[in-house]
Amino acid sequence: MRLAAIGVIAASVSVLVSYQPPKEYSPVKHYVPQDPVAVEHYIPLDSSVLGTNTVASGLDVPWEITWGPDNWIWYTEQGGRISKVHPETGEKRVLITIPEVLRKRSTGLLGMALHPDFERSPYVYVDYTYQKGAEIRTRLVRYTYRNEVLLDPLVILEIPGNTGHNGSRLTISPDRKLIFATGDAAIYPNAQNQQSPNGKILRLNLDGTIPADNPIKGSPVWSWGHRNPQGMTYGRNGNLYISEHGDAIEDEINLIGKGLNYGWPRVEGYCDTPGEEPFCDSIAVEEPLKAWTPTIAPAGLDFYGSTRIPEWKNTLILTTLKDCSIRILKLNRAGTAVIDEKVFLKGVYGRIRDICVSPEGDIYLSTSNRDWNPAKGFPKPDDDLIIKVTKIKDAGKLLASQSARTGNIPATSTNAESAGAAIYTQYCASCHKADGQGVAESFPPLKGAEQVLGPKRELIRIVLKGLSGPVKVKGVEYDQHMPAFAFLKDQELAEVLTYIRMSFGNQASPVTAAEVAAARKGNP
Tell me, yes or no, whether 298 and 424 share the same domain: no
d(CA 345, CA 379): 16
Q: What is the DSSP string of 183-205?
A: --TT-GGGGG-TT-SSSEEEEEE
Answer whether residue 243 is part of any domain.
yes
Domain match, 82 and 194 both: yes
- Does a structural domain hold residue 34? no
Instruction: Sheet with 200-205: list strands edge to edge.
Output: 169-172, 177-181, 200-205, 221-224
Looking from the CA of 349 toward its CB, the CA atoms found within 13 Å total: 30
212 and 323, same domain (yes or no): yes
Domain presence at residue 56: yes
| Residues 454, 392 share a domain | no
Looking at the structure, tell me whether residues 394 and 477 fall in a common domain: no
207 plus 356 within the same structural domain: yes
- Domain identity same for 302 and 347: yes
At residue 288, what are phi and psi to the nearest 5 degrees?
Answer: -70, 160
Determine the residue type at 244.
Answer: E
DSSP for residue 27: P
Distance CA 124, CA 73 (A): 13
Angle at 316 between CA 240 and CA 226, to 5 degrees: 45
Q: What is the CATH number of the domain that holds 439?
A: 1.10.760.10
Q: How many CB atoms lie within 10 A of CB 520?
A: 14
155 burial level (CB within 10 Å; 0-12, 13-18, 19+): middle
A 10 A CB-CB count for 296 gives 22
Helix then strand then coil, % of the chain, to nearest 5? 15, 30, 50
pLDDT in tens, the chain (524 residues): 333 343 333 333 333 333 233 333 333 333 334 443 478 998 988 888 999 999 999 999 999 999 999 999 999 999 999 999 999 999 999 999 999 999 998 999 999 999 999 999 999 999 999 999 999 999 999 999 999 999 999 999 999 999 999 999 999 999 999 999 999 999 999 999 999 999 999 999 999 999 999 999 999 999 999 999 999 999 999 999 999 999 999 999 999 999 999 999 999 999 999 999 999 999 899 999 999 999 999 999 999 999 999 999 999 999 999 999 999 999 999 999 999 999 999 999 999 999 999 999 999 999 999 999 999 999 999 999 999 999 988 665 555 554 444 443 333 332 334 688 888 888 888 889 888 988 887 889 999 999 999 999 899 999 999 887 788 899 898 877 788 898 899 998 999 999 899 899 898 888 998 999 999 988 65
Same domain, residue pair 423 and 395: no
Q: How much is the pLDDT for 482? A: 84
Element (H, E) at 423: helix 419-427
End-to-end CA distance of the chain: 48
Residue 465 and residue 348 share a domain: no
- Specify if 142 maps to a domain: yes
Residue 414 lies in a domain: no
Q: Which residues contact 372 (CB under 8 A, 6 or more apart)?
A: 105, 106, 439, 442
Buried b (16+ CB within 10 A) or exposed e, 374-387: bbeebbeeebbbbb
**Domain annotation covers residue 133:** yes
Task: State whether 397 and 424 are in the same domain.
Answer: no
Find out whether 66 and 58 touch, Cβ atoms under 8 Å. Answer: no
**411 lies in some domain:** no
Number of domain units in the chain: 2
Residues 276, 131 share a domain: yes
Tell me which residue range forms the domain holding 299: 5-27+40-374+384-401
Residue 109 backbone dihedrals phi, psi, to 5 degrees: -80, 125
Q: Helices (DSSP H) in 263-310: which residue ranges?
A: 277-283
Going through 226-314 in order, the beta strands assigned E by DSSP cover 229-234, 240-244, 251-256, 290-292, 298-304
Which are the contacts of 273, defined by CB distance < 8 A and separation ≥ 6? Answer: none
- Is residue 72 a part of any domain in this protein? yes
Query: Does 470 lie in the same domain as 333?
Result: no
| Separation between Cα atoms, residue 56 and residue 69, nearest integer Å | 19
DSSP lists the bridge partners of residue 456 as none
Q: What CATH number does the domain containing 332 carry?
A: 2.120.10.30
517: enclosing H helix or E strand? helix 513-520
Output the pTM of the full model: 0.81
